[in-house]
Structure 1
Amino acid sequence: MTDATSSLPAAFFPPSAPPNFTRADFGPDFHWGAAAAAYQVEGAWQLQGKGPSIWDDFTRRKGAVRRGEHGRVATDFYHRHATDLDLAQAMGLTDFRFSAAWPRVLPAGVGAVNRRGLDFYDRLVDACLERELRPWVTVYHWDLPSALQAKGGWANRSVVGWLADYAQVLAHRLGDRVQHWMVLNEPMVFVGAGHLLGVHAPGRRHLGAFLAAAHHATLAQAEGGRALRALLPATARIGTTFSCSYLTPHRPGHARDEAATRRADALLNRFFVEPALGLGYPVAELPALRWLLERYHRPGDEQRMQFDFDFWGIQNYTREVVKFSPWLPLQWATLVPAKRRGVPHTDMGWEVYPESIYEMLKQYAAYPNAPQLVVTESGAAFPDVKAGGAVADAERRAYLQAALGQVLRARRDGLDVAGYFAWTLTDNFEWAEGYGPRFGLVHVDYQTQERTVKSSGLWYRDFLRWPGAAGPSGAEGRRADFPEPFAAGSVG
């Protein structure tokens, strides 16, 4: 790909000069990070006592993942984390978000701790701190131990206690150095895609399993928060993350599409947030949730679902356009694909719509007693091509600039938004899509594991290294090149 790409309209691209804001506009305490997840990058799937996860199992199913790909090696972060953290430091990041693999720490999900697995995260935290990168730990990012899935997994109410116990194992070992914690990553995705649609692990397609898993995840995000708070220092910040999309009706003003949009919003954007605030499930918009309450809700659960988080992680990639559908009884709604609407879209088929970040920050900030917000994931996948030792990803650079502009817009409107984490630092295993979509600021050759900083990563480095200037061409600030062996852009 070159800067003269044609998959997005020319008007989308900012001018070649830097945007009309600087790092300094975000304030001195803003968190600048990138995010990653254990199964997507670590590899080392059977080393040093690690047990199997539901994703190890799911990727063995024929047709489950494009091209039959898997995360057994991934980007070999388990062995190459020092290299990747050097890149993060050289890029000027101040924070690095990662998850701990549950079966690496507790191979059976409960019981005996795998000390060698826990030692890895101990070393990883120290490696972050040595590079002045604040570590943000996600307790659960979708890799449930296979041993727990054999007992029902998220459809078994016992998972609430299993998750809390696992969180405390991490807190005991890492809590003296890790100040930022997230309980769950995008619960609506792992319960919806994994238990209703069947396109993610564990690959179930059953409404009852979905409702059970959703309720237990709601309880677990609160119970996990309490488990962490019981052990961590008072200065620790405990949050959780939510997937979200700005939703608009296919036909504005059309009664059925407007109602479908409200139902979709209740399911996709409100389901896990409102119980934590003590508002309960959005049953008025989703009457099917009465079945959840009848079958899985127990006395006292209304209180157990509540937790006073210090921050919410907002994870937004796009907006969705919603229309009424008589064939989907849970929400009576369907999403109209971006391709069908003829709008610019990414390799994931998601509409390029950076304004969605602003709209979702505004929606979540509007809740009474809403905590601080952090954009814990934001990014775009495009068909990167390495040529002449470089990757000129103009589309991603433009997306990054536009996304940051929307975050700054929210801050200027008075919203308490404390950080931005790009998804992701390096290209990685993108779940059911395999290694096709590339989200990274750093290109990975999956055959050789060579890293190449993309033009978006170089732009981000320049933006972060000139806190008081208009950009690399400004008079203030200093240039900070990637140290050897990254100065040429690549490392094996």
Structure 2
Amino acid sequence: MPIIQFPKEMKWGTATAAYQIEGAAFEDGRGLSIWDTFSHTPGNVKNGDNGDVACDSYHRYAEDIELLDQLGANVYRFSVSWPRIYPTGKGELNPKGLKYYHDLIDKLVEKGIEPMLTLYHWDLPQALQDHGGWANRETVDAFSRYAETIFKEFNGKVKYWQTINEPLCAAFLSNYRGVHAPGFKDLQLAVDVSHHLVLAHGRAVKVFRDLGIEGKIGTATNTTWREPFSNKSEDMEACKREIGHNIDWFLDPIFKGEYPQYLVDWFKNKGADLHTEEGDMEIICQPIDFIGGNYYSGNIARYKENDGLLDIENIEIDYDQTYIEWPIYADGLYKVFHYLAERYGNIPLFITENGACCIDKLENGKVMDQDRIKYYQQHLTAVSRAIESGINIIGYLAWSLLDNFEWAEGYGKRFGLVYVDFNTAERIKKDSYYWYKKVIANGWMEI
């Protein structure tokens, strides 16, 4: 069997998000988030599920860190719950929230696992949403103050920092398609929110630099790939829009100091104008240390008039799909790496999320998730191909450590390396956990 070798200095680990795993939604002074409100509104989440308890990681974090340690992970990406720190988004601090993250981070450091802290993974304090949320520029100010608090509090303990997770989802899934909190369907609102999210990123990076905080700071952006169905210009342009909506719209302002004009024009034709203020782009265009890319799927696609926001139609050929019905297209990850390197230079790249939703059956105390292992084999092969091609990839984080609250899908979709019984919160290692442990320990895999 062929052997795929990885660099010795490669960082390995997993990723999670606060609302998806912590639970303890109403404990120790935590305020409400937009996901508390959204998930408790009938019809928004499958089966009426919510994150009130989730994986109960708030109380079981030490057990989860032990799972990471046994896995051999040397990086753990997690997010801080903003309403656990500032229950109303600003104003009075919640010391119990800060203590929880100190305990979590101290335990990681004790085990030799580098914390990668994400400031915002979608759980906006509801009190800020009540005043317009991310559509209100005052939320950018509140985020800057929250970021300053976290930077100062955990300086010296955290090596990797990320500002905002998947701003595409936080802007467009949440405010244009309405499938994520807060659940609006307004393109102009989504475009406004997208700019304020990028501005909030820039403000946070500036605070980070001004304070002289230790470590490296970067992004966690959506990535995907669309291969044109044909060489017709309309097919190629449609795929460019889809890729660019994920990547260019959010990274061009950071690296180039401007939004991609082709998308500015496209949104304008769809009825939404980009609104910026003087000085915004200078704030956004702060140097960052790495790009965090989240990749799950790709496809072949072609132009189709009035098909969604971007006039694009996916062509389902013969790709296998994960249980969440996302095509398995590992070659797209390889192409995304080259796209990022060509567009933004040889900046370090960190795969901050990659994983598969599968039908996991617990039988005789085991979960034999060979389909997930195959997914990881395919995508780690793409990672190796990119590294061998000279792309500056420094780490890989599997999504996710645990089965968890999968947003609007509730608890019916599992991504974890570890099976969670949501009735008892028991953790059971899947076959993919043992497989990934072996890859980390060896620094290579068989395919």
TM class, shorter-length: over 0.9
1:355-366 maps to which residues of 2 (within 5 A)? 355-366=331-342
Moved more, 39-48 or 393-402: 393-402
Q: 1:382 aligns with which of 358, 380, 402?
A: 358
How far apart, in 2, do the equivalents of 1:258 and 1:358 lie? 19
* 3-state secondary structure, aligned to 2:199: helix
Moved more, 185-194 or 224-233: 224-233
Contact 1:175/1:232 (8 A) holds in 2: no
Structure 1 match to 2:147: 167
Contact 2:31/2:84 (8 A) holds in 1: yes
Q: State yes or no: 1:76 paired with 2:56.
A: yes
Structure 2 match to 1:239: 218
Q: How many angstroms does 1:54 deviate by?
A: 0.2
Q: 1:462 aligns with which of 430, 438, 446?
A: 438
Structure 2 match to 1:64: 44
Which sections of structure 1, spanning at least 5 residues, go unmatched?
A: 1-16, 472-492
Q: State yes or no: 1:281 paired with 2:264.
A: no
Q: Summarize the Cα distance change of 1:422–1:382 in structure 2 as closer, same or farther, 3 Å threshold.
A: same
Q: How many angstroms does 1:370 deviate by?
A: 4.8
Q: How many angstroms does 1:343 deviate by?
A: 2.5
Count of aligned pairs: 445
Q: Which protein is bigger by CA-based radius of gyration?
A: 1
Deviations along 1:309-365, one digit per CA (max 9) or x if unpaired, are 1001011011133332322574333444x4xx4421001111111122111111101
Structure 1 match to 2:293: 314
Moved more, 294-303 or 271-280: 294-303
What letter corresponds to residue 19 of structure 2 in structure 1?
A: Y
How far apart, in 2, do the equivalents of 1:470 and 1:172 lie? 40
What letter corresponds to residue 430 of structure 2 in structure 1?
A: K
* 3-state secondary structure, aligned to 1:78: helix
What's the C-alpha RMSD, in Å, of the aligned pairs?
A: 1.8
Contact 2:217/2:288 (8 A) holds in 1: yes
Q: How many angstroms does 1:146 deviate by?
A: 0.1
Contact 1:278/1:305 (8 A) holds in 2: no
Moved more, 299-308 or 425-434: 299-308
State the 4+ residue runs in structure 1 displaced beyond 6 angstroms: none
What letter corresponds to residue 84 of structure 1 in structure 2?
A: D
How far apart, in 2, do the equivalents of 1:440 and 1:367 lie? 32
Deviations along 1:14-69, one digit per CA (max 9) or x if unpaired, are xxx6x512xxx322321101000000000000100000000000001211011110
Deviations along 1:99-138, one digit per CA (max 9) or x if unpaired, are 0000000001011110001110010000101111100000
Structure 2 match to 1:253: 231
Contact 1:163/1:220 (8 A) holds in 2: yes
Q: How many angstroms does 1:289 deviate by?
A: 4.2
What letter corresponds to residue 253 of structure 1 in structure 2?
A: N
Q: Summarize the Cα distance change of 1:300–1:345 in structure 2 as closer, same or farther, 3 Å threshold.
A: same
Superposition TM-score, scaled by structure 1 size: 0.87
Structure 1 match to 2:408: 432
What letter corresponds to residue 322 of structure 1 in structure 2?
A: A
Q: How many angstroms does 1:376 deviate by?
A: 0.4
Which sections of structure 2, spanning at least 5 residues, go unmatched?
A: none
Structure 2 match to 1:5: none
Q: How many angstroms does 1:382 deviate by?
A: 0.5
Structure 2 match to 1:229: 209
Name the structure where helix makes up a greater proportion of residues.
Answer: 2
Q: How many angstroms does 1:304 deviate by?
A: 2.1
Structure 1 match to 2:8: 28
1:189-338 maps to which residues of 2 (within 5 A)? 189-233=169-213, 235-249=214-228, 251-290=229-268, 296-328=275-307, 330-336=309-315, 338=316
Q: Summarize the Cα distance change of 1:302–1:70 in structure 2 as closer, same or farther, 3 Å threshold.
A: same
Deviations along 1:169-192, one digit per CA (max 9) or x if unpaired, are 111111121111000100011111
Contact 1:57/1:146 (8 A) holds in 2: yes
How far apart, in 1, do the equivalents of 2:291 and 2:138 lie? 25
Q: How many angstroms does 1:367 deviate by?
A: 2.2
Q: State yes or no: 1:124 paired with 2:100.
A: no
Q: 1:183 aligns with which of 129, 138, 163?
A: 163
